[in-house]
Structures are given as structure tokens and as C-alpha cells.
Amino acid sequence: MGLGMWLRTGFLMAVLTGLLMGVGYLLGGTNMMFIAFAFALLMNFFSYWYSDRLVLAWYGARVVDEMEAPELYAIVRGLANEAGIPTPRVAIVPTETPNAFATGRNPKNAVVAVTQGLLRILNKDELEGVLAHEISHIKNRDILISTVAAAIAGAIMQLAYWARWIAIFGGYRGDRDDGGDVIGAILVAILAPIAAMLVQAAISRSREYLADETGARISGKPWALARALEKIEYAVSRRPLRNGNPATAHMFIVNPFKGMGIANLFSTHPPTEKRIERLRKIAQDMGTAF
């Protein structure tokens, strides 16, 4: 299943990149296509270096040391050793909505964040299952993949914004080979953002499945992750995160913005029941009780 997820992610990233290049070409021919690509590279560079600081600041997460959270650090260190990566820093998010996420530009600069609500409702095994999932994101370089996907999708949406102005002012005056006609601009403005969000969401869902699988094998407790997902899903449905940025939904183990209108249109996570079903199969393969 892991190889299939990697192939799926590679295909979707290629589609997203191709969409970016195609949008650039439609707006202004070959020159705009390369400008669009350069714009995406610039956004990727910024996201790679600063996204971890931004997301921790958005949620008021506080990095704690081992003296403050010895049990939490002990679990994280043991799982990181099992995964073969450096022990990430640990942060606590001051909200009662239970959830967790990982961030950081690479395994040496990673942070695993958990909310106060998560620490309150999960037992030790369930917490271990969740932390193994987040450490799997670090091990599988999912943070980089999701950052690049989000940056490319963002570049496409910016180009679509420009396309609206192009359509208003009559488009480019070049010939057909140069692209940028009014009809093309209108189509780009309408369809490109939708396509970009759909592909980005599909990438996020595939990485969640892979992190579930990898995390279950790292902890050896797929049943613990399944129980944790059930608890988090139920709690989030009753108490969704109100003060946050929906653009970061893909980072969390369960979408924290349940019931917030537009956040439900493009799912960044597979249905929890399907994740549990897959974990049940993994448990059977591992010969562990579920």
C-alpha cells in the first residue's frame, strides 16, 4: 500500500505542476508559463523556510521542554527512535479541540504539536498512536510535499485572480499561439482554482492514509490509532476549531474545521470510517488484536 500511495502522490503532484504551467500558458504564452513556474518556486522557498513558524504562531502553540512534559517527550523520543529520525520538538496548542499536527522544513527541524484537548481525552496508547502518525508525516517528508502542493495551488489561484482582470480588460492582444484570449482567461478564472483545490485535497488524503499505515507499524498499535481517530472525530464534530486558518486543515490528523461551510466542500482527509477500516486490515496483516 505504501508504494501505491507514493505513486499516487507523484502523479497528483505532476498534475498540479502541469496545471500551473498550463494556466500560465493560457494567460500569456510561453513567457507567462515560465513566470508562473518561477512564482511557484518563490512561494515554495518562502513556505519551506517559514511555514512552521507561521502555523505555530497562528495557533498560539508553545514549544515545551522535557522538564515541562516528560511523559510526552518520552513517547515522542521512543517513536522517533523507532522511525529512525531525530527527536522532534514538542509543542502544546492552548485549545480544548482535540487534534495534533507536525510541521518543520525537515526531520532535523520538526515540531510535533498536540492540543490540550487531545491530552485530556486520550489514554497513553491512543496518544502514542496519534504521535506515531505525526512522526510518520515527518519521516515520509509529508510536510514538504504538502507545503509544495499548497504553494503551487496558491500560485494557480493567484494566476486565476489575474485572469479575472485579463477578462475584464479584454485579454491579451496576441495571436492564438501566444495564448491569453478572453475565453481562455474566463475559463482559467473559473476552473483553475477548483481543479487546484481538488488535486491538493487528493494529495493530502493520500498522505493521511500513508501516515496511518506508517504510524501503525511504528507504534505496533493500529487499534490505538483507530480508537484515537474515533474520539477526535466525535469531539471535533461537537467542538470544531473556531479560531484558525482553514488553509492549514490538511496539517491536522483530523480536519478541525468540521461544520464550517466552505471547509467541507473539499475534504483534505479521508472519511474516518475508511481510515479505521484500513487500520483494521493493517492490524490483521500485523497479527495484532483490534
111-115/100-103 β-pairing: antiparallel
Beta bridge partners of 103: 111
Query: Which string of b and e fits 215-243 if b means at least 16 CB within 10 Å?
Result: bbbbbebbbbbbbbbebbbebbeeebbee
Q: Using an 8 Å Cβ cutoff, are 50 and 102 in contact? A: no
CB neighbour class for 124 (10 Å; exposed up to 12, middle 13-18, buried from 19): exposed
d(CA 149, CA 167): 27
Query: Which residue among the candidates 66, 126, 128, 134 is catalytic per the annotation?
Result: 134
Instruction: For residue 220, give the DSSP letter.
Output: S
SS3 64: strand
Q: Using an 8 Å Cβ cutoff, are 4 and 111 in contact? A: no
Tell me whether residue 134 is one of the annotated catalytic residues.
yes
Q: Provide the annotated active-site residues.
A: 134
